[in-house]
Chain A
Amino acid sequence: MTGKNMIKRLLALLLLASIGAMFASLLLAYVPDTDLNFTARYYAEHTAADIGAANIVTAIIVTYRGLDTLGEVTVLFLASGIVGLVLSFGRKQNTTLRNLVPVGELLTTASQYLAPIIMLLGVYVFVNGHLTPGGGFQGGAIIASGMLLLLLSDPLKRFSHTLIATVESFSGVGYIALGLVGLVLAGGFLDSRILPNGVLGELISAGAIPLIYSLIGLKVGAEFSSMLTSLSETEDL
C-alpha cells in the first residue's frame, strides 16, 4: 500500500514538474507591456465619451461585454438551482430537532443591528458601481453575507424561498427587458445608452448602467442567498 502510494505521489510530482517547467518558461519569457494594447486603449479612450461611466471595468462588464455578464449570471443561476435540486432530492418531511449549541448573546444582538447595515452597504456598493470600485457582483455578495450573519445567529431560521425566488426572477426578467429595450432604442442588446449619459462622476449618469447593475446585484444576492439557505437547511435530510 505504501509502495503504491509512493508511486502515485511520484507520478503526481512528475506531472507537476512538467507543468511547472511550462509555467517557468512562460514566466521567464514574460515582458510587461509598456503601453496599453489595442483593445484596452479603445476602452480607455472611448468609455468616458460613449458610456459615461467613471469605472472602466464596470463599463466593460455591463455594456461592452454585457452578453458575457448575462451568461455569467445564468451560470450562477444554474449553479444555485442545481445546489437546491441536489440537496432537496430525497429530503424527508419529518425532521428531528437537533440539540444545537446555543448561540451566544453577543452574536444574536449584534447581528440584529449589523445585518441591515451590511445589506445597506451592499446596496450602496451596487448603486455606485459605475463610479467606485464594486458593483453588482460585490454588492450581491455583501447582501448574501448579511443573510449569512442572520443564518449564523439563528441556525433554525427559515428564510422565505418564495421571496428569494421572486426577487431573483423579477431582477432577471428586468435585466433581460432592459437589454431588449437597448436593442430597440440604442445600438444593440444590453446597450446602456437608452438613458442620457449625464455628467461623468455623478450618481445618476452612465445611462442605464446603475439600473442594470442594481438588477444584477439583486439577482446575484438572491442566488448566493438561495445557495446558502439550501446548504444550511440540509439537516432535514
Chain B
Amino acid sequence: MVYIAMATGFLLILIGFYGALTNRNLLRMIVAFSIADTGINLVIISVGYLPGRTAPILDTTVTAAAAAARIIDPVPQALVLTAIVIGVGVTALMLAYTLKLYEKKRTLDIAKFTELKW
C-alpha cells in the first residue's frame, strides 16, 4: 500500500512537471505545478507511514504509554501540513501575477512575454 501511494506521488510529480513544461498557457502551468505539489506531499506522507499502525492521536485505545508502539511518524505530517498551506499561498501569488500580466498584455501565452519588464 505504501509503495502504491509513493509511486503515485512520484508519478504525479512527473505529470505535473510534464504539464508545466509542455503547456504554454500560464493558468495551465499553475494547475500543473499544483498537481506536482500534491504529488510531493503524497510522497512525504507515505514515507511517514508504518504498516499496521494508526494515526498519532492519543485516546482510550492508543494510550500515552503504548503510543510509541502504536502510532505512525507524526513529523512528516506536521511538515506536509505546513507545505499545503504554503503551497496555496504560492498558488495565490502566481495567480495574482497572472492576472496582472494578462491585464498588461491581454494574453496568457507565455511565449508572448519576451521582454524583461512589463
Contacts and interface: CB of A to CB of B under 8 A. Distances in A.
- Indicate if A touches B (C-beta under 8 A): yes
B27 interface: no
A15 B82 CA distance: 29
Contacts of B85: 72, 76, 137, 220
Contacts of B92: 79-80, 83, 227, 231
Interface residues of B, number: 45
Q: Is the interface of B mostly helix, strand, loop or mixed?
A: helix
Contact of A40 (B2, B75, B84, B103): B75
Contacts of B59: 54, 201
Contact of A49 (B50, B51, B64, B68): B64
A162 interface: no
Interface in A87-114: 87, 89
28 contacts: A9-B22, A16-B17, A27-B6, A30-B6, A32-B49, A36-B68, A39-B75, A40-B73, A43-B74, A44-B71, A44-B74, A47-B58, A47-B64, A56-B56, A56-B74, A57-B57, A60-B75, A60-B78, A72-B85, A76-B86, A79-B92, A86-B97, A87-B100, A200-B58, A201-B58, A220-B85, A224-B88, A237-B103
Interface of B: 2-3, 6-7, 10, 13-14, 17-18, 21-22, 47, 49-51, 55-59, 64, 67-68, 71, 73-75, 77-78, 81-82, 84-86, 88-90, 92-93, 95-97, 99-100, 103
